[in-house]
Structure 1
Amino acid sequence: MNKPETTTKNSGSLSEVHQSVDTSKRTGWRRILSFIGPAYLVSVGYMDPGNWATDIAGGSKFGYQLIWILLMSNLIALLLQSLSARLGIVRGLDLAQASRNGYPKWVNIPLFGLAQTAIIACDLAEIIGMAIGLNLLFGLPLIWGISLTIFDTVLLLFLLNKGMRKMEAFIVSMVFIVGVSFLIEMFIVEPSLKEIAKGFEPTMLSGEALYIAIGIIGATVMPHNLYLHSSLVQTRKFERDNKGIKEAIKFNFIDTAIALNLAFFVNAAILILAAAAFYKNGLHEVAEIQDAHKLLQNIFGNVAPALFAIALIAAGQSSTVTGTLAGQIVMEGHLKLRIEPWLRRLITRLLAIIPAFFTILWFGNDALGGLLILSQVVLSLQLGFAVIPLIHFTSDKRTMKGFAIKTWVKILAWGSSIVIVSLNVKLVVEEIKTWGADGGWYVYVIIVPLAILIGLLLLYVFIYPLISKIKREQNVTPHGSALNIDEVEKIHYKRIGITVDFSKNDRNTIRHALIQGGKQANYHLIHVVETAVARYHGDSALDYETQSDTENLEKYRNNLAELGYKATIHIGYGGTVKAIVDITNESNLELLVMGAHGHKGLKDLILGTTVNSVRHKVTIPVLIVR
């Protein structure tokens, strides 16, 4: 039986948690529940602060009229997310890895850039939402609220170390808080059930109603969720035969349907809340989240606005975690580049904080609403670059084998993509016209040419899989393919470096080094003095620590000489990593033996990761001894 291609555990998407949830040992409802989780992480993207802005504007201006737009958006999202899950389950690849495998190398660079920009735009919406929520609940100034969001990095680091199930539990609890908050608010505002039901009836839209409807669709179907879902389904371990794959697809569809219907409930609740609280009271121009909170307080007292702020904070916090995971998937998939999750989270967060920070400083708090809408426009630009490849990949019978999507699903998917892309293009064109009306030269010099280039790239992404007949053999994993190993000859090292710090670890480090070279090798004992004096004065430093460390190195050398080993001592000064690398290069070492202390997590952030940094900067083998 031909099995669809897959990645190994170590090289799979989100390798830290790849196949970390075993479903094979569970039966009945427990087996179904073991697949539940990935879609809940995805669903938070459908109820982030960017959605709140469009839902509030739609409800306050047009009452219940646009509920059917929310329903249509949710059905399209359900279709696309189920395709994303299918890709991850069947091929064992996330959408970014599949794009790298399916398109020329040069295309993946702009695809990564666009996806990363979308993630930053999404993160921007979450920063603004979080800051507004803290301001509404505790009166914290927006500038301080935005600054505090940088500490989300620590939360993510903690959750990643706790494992996938703990992270999913955190996200589900945040979603639960949002859902319960709005459920209680529904009882407070008492909306008309008859008018809600009428809102599900499709109507012709024009003018501002059409514009807001486009905004709702653009804010609902988010590109990074397609990358995220195709990766998260791979955290489940199941039998990779036809029966196991069919079962995984079915259970993940159930997971997706439940999670996205919950997201639809939240979005509909926001729109209904705006319709019942503002539209019915003649307040048709409520588009800002802060205004909505203020008016809720005026009309319904303190409970409704407090719940509103709590839900906003929960939505921003949960979206932050999933945005980080999406960023990791996009970088590893498109570029084969893997960095520490906390570092890429920090970079993404800083890139999102800077525009929010300067918007407040230059234009004041009132400009954040406009920045929130801009973030949704940026998301709209990227959507086609995720949707079109996804449909191509899941339609490919050569790679999907018997799990390629059926013709009727393909028609629905392409129809949905045409609707999404065309409406989002209309939204972008309208925004460019608005900016151009203000007379900004940058619109015609920078934005219009950039939009044309992006449009041409989108056309290429659509056409290439249809016309390309070249069978490219590309690695689908970040590490490449296994090589044939020939007969192994013993390597004789003549110059071996040993880093020492005069701790109890030195004995073990030196012992392992001596085993590698025997009595024929020359051993170079390396120690770095990190005192302030040593940093500034280098080899002219004569402070107590430098003298003491030199004496200790001499003792090691004499001790080795008595045992019949040749040794040379080296003292480095200042930065540990740079000093070790410099000594290694200057002494033409062939092997470097280092002791590892075994600290991790926050200790790495405080104490640094010398071994890892040195390993990346030298070109010789490094033996790490614990």
Structure 2
Amino acid sequence: MKLTLPKIGPGALVAAAFIGPGTVTACTLAGANFGYALVWALLFATIATIILQDMSARLGAGAKLGLGEALMQNAKSPALKIASAILVFAALAIGNAAYEAGNLAGGALGIEAIFGEASPDRRIFILALAALAAGLLLHGKYKLLERILVMLVLIMSAAFLIAAIMVRPDFRALFNGLIPSIPEGGLLTAIALIGTTIVPYNLFLHAAAARERWHGENDVQSARTDTLVSIGLGGLVSILILTTAAATMFGSDLVVSNAADLARSIEPAFGEAAKYLVGTGLLAAGLTSSITAPMATAYVVTEIWPQNDESKRKTIFRATSLIVLATGVIFSVSGIKPISLILIAQTANGLLLPIIATFLLMVMNRKALLGQYANSLSSNIAGAIVLLVTLGLGLRGIARAFSIWP
């Protein structure tokens, strides 16, 4: 019997996107503050992400449509098209520009963790990462970007897997953490773990990338397998990070503020190798998100503002990517905290996720568009459950942005 490995592609881009410094930090804080108690939240978030991203993959590979393109096509009136475009642009373009600063700063923290006290000014690392990301976005074709991101995801996975093995986690406590329960003070952390995994812009990124990567009708199954394997791997990485933090930091007197503290915390017990592992993982997380956030925004802009001329489309794609990246650089090197933009992003994303999830469910039930790849009853039920959860998260995010709910 011949063993064939699954084709990995757009799903790895999604994994690369949601395992950014924010996710690494959220998982670190969850493990440090609550041990293994919130592992179930990551498991749920991973399953929910697979459900939604599978729909986006089928839309891109089966119907050959990006999600932004499908959104514009189904908005019948000009006013509705304009409103849809503004909502999507506010949530993705402005939001990703604000969060790009965190991606670059997070990658720089990973380098600092590796260099230790001998580390130079963080701004040097931020500029170097930004230059690398800009070079790839400007000159890298889709296949090259995909291969680089797949490689970075594998490096990140290996780094955190080895780190988790080194700290010898309590497997009994780990399995007990799969039973849903919220420890005292853990509600917001559970919401953060779910919210950093189910990301609205990834639905746009996945559909656009799947359309570009898969070219035949028979490739739809490959796209679905890629989604399951890649996002499942991404969820496993998140669990490994939480596990490492729980094994080394829970119950200690360490003050934890970010993921770089995880690298410093395990160095005394496990030597410099552990510090290098976690630092490398954090660096890879920052670099992958620094590339995918501008990519997702650029895909959406080119779908909302379509061009028949391929050279014009590429120009718009590259210009959008660089604007998002440059904004992130400005905020991260200047020390400015983009609080206003982040509040706008939280509000827009809180609105966008349930709306896009609803729209995605509607599109995926159009058999005239998708044929045999339209949603089954089980897919619709699973999607409806995820929609209800995302609606609750969206309302919670909006309320928190306006300080209605602490």
Q: Check whether TM > 0.5.
A: yes
CA distance in structure 2 between the aligned counterparts of 1:308 and 1:371, rounded to whole angstroms: 31
1:296 equivalent among 253, 263, 266 = 266
Write the deviation string for residues 492-513 of structure 1: whole angstroms up to 9, x where unpaired: xxxxxxxxxxxxxxxxxxxxxx
1:153 paired to 2:134? yes
* Match runs of 1:260-299 below 5 Å: 260-283=231-254, 285-299=255-269
CA distance in structure 1 between the aligned counterparts of 2:355 and 2:330, rounded to whole angstroms: 26
RMSD: 2.7
The 8 Å contact of residues 8 and 230 in structure 2, kept in 1 or not, is answered as no
Question: Gaps spanning 5+ residues in structure 1: where?
Answer: 1-27, 240-244, 438-626
1:109 paired to 2:85? yes
1:64 equivalent among 17, 22, 36 = 36
Q: Which residue of 1 aligns with 2:301?
A: 331
Q: Which residue of 1 aligns with 2:283?
A: 313
Write the deviation string for residues 323-350 of structure 1: whole angstroms up to 9, x where unpaired: 2321221001112263524332221111
Residues 382, 286 of structure 1: CA spacing in aligned structure 2 closer, same or farther, 3 A cutoff?
A: farther
CA distance in structure 1 between the aligned counterparts of 2:9 and 2:344, rounded to whole angstroms: 27
1:349 paired to 2:349? no
CA distance in structure 2 between the aligned counterparts of 1:408 and 1:237, rounded to whole angstroms: 25
Match of 2:122, as an amino acid? Answer: L
Q: 1:206: Cα distance to partner? A: 6.2
Write the deviation string for residues 354-389 of structure 1: whole angstroms up to 9, x where unpaired: 23233x2x6xxxx79x99997984654542343222
Match of 1:224, as an amino acid? Answer: Y
Q: 1:231: Cα distance to partner? A: 1.5
Q: 1:405: Cα distance to partner? A: 0.8
Match of 1:79, as an amino acid? Answer: I
Q: Which residue of 1 aligns with 2:177?
A: 199
1:209 equivalent among 183, 186, 189 = 186
CA distance in structure 1 between the aligned counterparts of 2:67 and 2:149, rounded to whole angstroms: 22
Match of 1:400, as an amino acid? Answer: L
CA distance in structure 2 between the aligned counterparts of 1:372 and 1:274, rounded to whole angstroms: 30
Partner SS for 2:364: helix
* Match runs of 1:594-609 below 5 Å: none
Write the deviation string for residues 217-259 of structure 1: whole angstroms up to 9, x where unpaired: 11001112111111222234554xxxxx3x4332222111111
Residues 159, 85 of structure 1: CA spacing in aligned structure 2 closer, same or farther, 3 A cutoff?
A: same
1:142 equivalent among 122, 128, 135 = 122
Q: 1:303: Cα distance to partner? A: 1.6
Q: Which residue of 1 aligns with 2:204?
A: 227
Write the deviation string for residues 385-417 of structure 1: whole angstroms up to 9, x where unpaired: 432221121122343344321233212212201
Q: 1:122: Cα distance to partner? A: 4.1
1:42 equivalent among 14, 33, 47 = 14
Q: TM-score, normalised on structure 2?
A: 0.87
CA distance in structure 2 between the aligned counterparts of 1:69 and 1:339, rounded to whole angstroms: 39
The 8 Å contact of residues 96 and 333 in structure 1, kept in 2 or not, is answered as yes
CA distance in structure 1 between the aligned counterparts of 2:95 and 2:354, rounded to whole angstroms: 12
Question: Gaps spanning 5+ residues in structure 2: where?
Answer: 308-312
CA distance in structure 2 between the aligned counterparts of 1:67 and 1:375, rounded to whole angstroms: 30
Write the deviation string for residues 155-175 of structure 1: whole angstroms up to 9, x where unpaired: 323322xx51x3322112111
Residues 238, 149 of structure 1: CA spacing in aligned structure 2 closer, same or farther, 3 A cutoff?
A: closer
* Match runs of 1:10-89 below 5 Å: 33=6, 35-89=7-61
* Match runs of 1:470-509 below 5 Å: none
The 8 Å contact of residues 124 and 375 in structure 1, kept in 2 or not, is answered as no
Match of 2:257, as an amino acid? Answer: A
Write the deviation string for residues 202-225 of structure 1: whole angstroms up to 9, x where unpaired: 12x265311000011110011121
1:387 equivalent among 357, 362, 366 = 357
Aligned pair count reads 389
Match of 1:124, as an amino acid? Answer: A
The 8 Å contact of residues 119 and 327 in structure 1, kept in 2 or not, is answered as yes
Partner SS for 1:65: coil
CA distance in structure 2 between the aligned counterparts of 1:321 and 1:51, rounded to whole angstroms: 16
Q: Which residue of 1 aligns with 2:103?
A: 126
The 8 Å contact of residues 50 and 376 in structure 1, kept in 2 or not, is answered as no
CA distance in structure 1 between the aligned counterparts of 2:130 and 2:327, rounded to whole angstroms: 11
Q: TM-score, normalised on structure 1?
A: 0.58
Partner SS for 2:186: helix
Residues 375, 293 of structure 1: CA spacing in aligned structure 2 closer, same or farther, 3 A cutoff?
A: farther
Partner SS for 2:232: helix
CA distance in structure 2 between the aligned counterparts of 1:29 and 1:201, rounded to whole angstroms: 35
* Match runs of 1:383-532 below 5 Å: 383-433=353-403
CA distance in structure 2 between the aligned counterparts of 1:223 and 1:308, rounded to whole angstroms: 27
Partner SS for 1:395: coil
CA distance in structure 1 between the aligned counterparts of 2:343 and 2:31, rounded to whole angstroms: 20
CA distance in structure 2 between the aligned counterparts of 1:374 and 1:282, rounded to whole angstroms: 32
Q: Which residue of 2 aligns with 1:91?
A: 63
Partner SS for 1:433: coil
CA distance in structure 2 between the aligned counterparts of 1:128 and 1:372, rounded to whole angstroms: 17
More helix by share: 2
Q: Which residue of 1 aligns with 2:310?
A: none
1:179 equivalent among 157, 177, 181 = 157
The 8 Å contact of residues 177 and 311 in structure 1, kept in 2 or not, is answered as yes
Residues 405, 419 of structure 1: CA spacing in aligned structure 2 closer, same or farther, 3 A cutoff?
A: same
CA distance in structure 1 between the aligned counterparts of 2:57 and 2:174, rounded to whole angstroms: 32
* Match runs of 1:568-579 below 5 Å: none
2:222 equivalent among 251, 262, 281 = 251
Write the deviation string for residues 448-494 of structure 1: whole angstroms up to 9, x where unpaired: xxxxxxxxxxxxxxxxxxxxxxxxxxxxxxxxxxxxxxxxxxxxxxx
Write the deviation string for residues 531-570 of structure 1: whole angstroms up to 9, x where unpaired: xxxxxxxxxxxxxxxxxxxxxxxxxxxxxxxxxxxxxxxx
